Amino acid sequence: MSRMKLNLGPQHPSTHGVLRLILDVDGEKISGCEPVIGYLHRGMEKMAEGMTYLQYLPTVDRIDYLSGFFNSFAYVSAVEKLLKLEIPERASIIRVLLMELNRIASHLLWLGTYLLDLGAVSPFFYTFRERELILNYFEKISGQRMMYNYFVFGGVRHDIEFLNEIAPMVKTIVEKLGDYEKLLTDNPIFISRTKNTGILSREEALAYSITGPNLRASNSHLDFRSQSDLYKNFEFKIAKADEGDCFARYKVRLDEIRESSKIIYQAVDFLAATTGDVNTGLKPLNLKIDHGEAFADVETPRGLTTCCIKSDGTDKPYRVKWRTGSFYAVQILPKLLIGNMISDVMAIYGSLDVMLPEVDR
């Protein structure tokens, strides 16, 4: 009787970006959903064709501005594969350390804004206070809070500094996680909004190429960190949950912060005990790369990010292709939303941790 179309976005405070959802609603129930993307398209892939390899490096931080180090890493290591460049061990450990700190910052922001969408205001302030510690540290070592541009071809720009500040900082954050859990894990309102809503089965998630914490909340072990050479010297567990609902995704992200902190402690111990070069000293002016194709992947807070570069012998890439995790999370949205209430839309959409700049590139 009361079937109608409901337009959500593109300017909606809870979408954290510009996503438009065209919902078919039957009373309060959703019977259809069509995501419309492309409002934040900046032409990141086409832009690379008109820039040199070095000029393109600062812009890749903008693909996903909450985890700039991961994008830089994917691009830089793809170029290093094309150049067949060996990077010093110390540089790769610094990269791991910074990426894991970035993962914590990204998950903390997700937690705060997700709860803001659900109507809980105080955790937002707490998570932002803790995230500020990490961002201040990033500002000290790289010069900016979110657009770092710290990785260079063959290592990192400067040697790491203020190493003794990291362990106390991470310890405070992990302690504060207990506070959040007191507020949330047993909270009946939070549980009734997240438990058994938006259930994503393992088969469905794999069929739709979902990666990252969203997949690991659906009873899967797939984490590209465990297969990469970069993390082979570190001991950590893969955070995982079985249920596949919004609450499981929340639990997996909190566990990931704890596991990241373990990697950070090991990396800090290694860096404090050793010294060495942090880059190969390559001056990449007029960098020309022979014909070839290389891709590098990295496990970001939002799934698998792959950067594929095709070079044609000039100083500009012939083609750069990005695969980002959030794009696939938007793809699964119609499957998850149909049959749920309008009030569940933001609970489900928020739990997927979609980053719109990353979807549109």
Partner 1 sequence: MIKILKSIKALLEGLFTVVKHLFKKSVTLQYPEERPVLPERFRGGHTLNGCIGCGICRQVCPCNAITIKKVEKKVTSYTINLRQCMFCGNCQYYCPVGAIKMGNNFEPATDCNNDLLKELVTNNESEADK
Q: Give the number of other Cβ atoms within 10 Å of residue 119's Cβ.
A: 11
- Give residues with Cβ within 8 angstroms of 35, minimum separation 6: 19, 20, 21, 330, 331, 333, 334
The count of residues interacting with partner 1 (CB under 8 A) is 31
179 counts as binding partner 1 under rule CB under 8 A: yes
Residue nearer to partner 1 on the CB measure, 62 or 202: 62
Q: In this chain, which of 12, 20, 157, 262 binds partner 1, going by CB under 8 A?
A: 157
Residue nearer to partner 1 on the CB measure, 280 or 331: 280
Q: Using DSSP, how many helices (H) and how many strands (E) does the chain show?
A: 14, 8
160 counts as binding partner 1 under rule CB under 8 A: no
Residue nearer to partner 1 on the CB measure, 129 or 237: 129
State how far the Cα of 336 lies from the Cα of 30, in Å rounded to an integer: 10
Contact characters 185-204, partner 1, x per CB under 8 A: -xxx----------------
Q: Which helix H or strand E contains 24, and what residues bound it? A: strand 20-26
183 counts as binding partner 1 under rule CB under 8 A: yes
Selected range binding partner 1 among 24-32, 181-189, 216-224, 316-324, rule: CB under 8 A = 181-189
We find the least distance from the C-beta atom of residue 126 to partner 1, in angstroms, to be 7
Selected range binding partner 1 among 15-23, 53-61, 74-82, 101-109, rule: CB under 8 A = 53-61
Tokens 């058994």 sit at which residue? 196
State how far the Cα of 63 lies from the Cα of 292, in Å rounded to an integer: 24
Q: Are 145 and 138 in contact (CB under 8 A)?
A: yes
We find the least distance from the C-beta atom of residue 37 to partner 1, in angstroms, to be 25
Contact characters 254-293, partner 1, x per CB under 8 A: -----------------------------x-x--------
Residue nearer to partner 1 on the CB measure, 72 or 326: 72
Q: Are 245 and 199 in contact (CB under 8 A)?
A: yes
Distance of CA 44 to the CA centre of its chain: 17
Q: In this chain, which of 146, 147, 238, 338 binds partner 1, going by CB under 8 A?
A: 147
Selected range binding partner 1 among 167-175, 177-185, 305-313, 328-336, rule: CB under 8 A = 177-185
Exposure of 111 in the CB half-sphere (CA atoms within 13 A): 31
Q: In this chain, which of 14, 45, 88, 149 binds partner 1, going by CB under 8 A?
A: 149
What are the CA-CA distances from residue 15 to residues 18, 29, 105, 116, 344 (Å)?
7, 20, 19, 12, 13
| Residue 25 identity | V
50 counts as binding partner 1 under rule CB under 8 A: no
State how far the Cα of 101 lies from the Cα of 89, in Å rounded to an integer: 19
List contacts with partner 1 (CB under 8 A).
51, 54-59, 122, 126, 129, 132, 139-144, 147, 149, 152, 157-158, 179, 182-184, 186-188, 283, 285
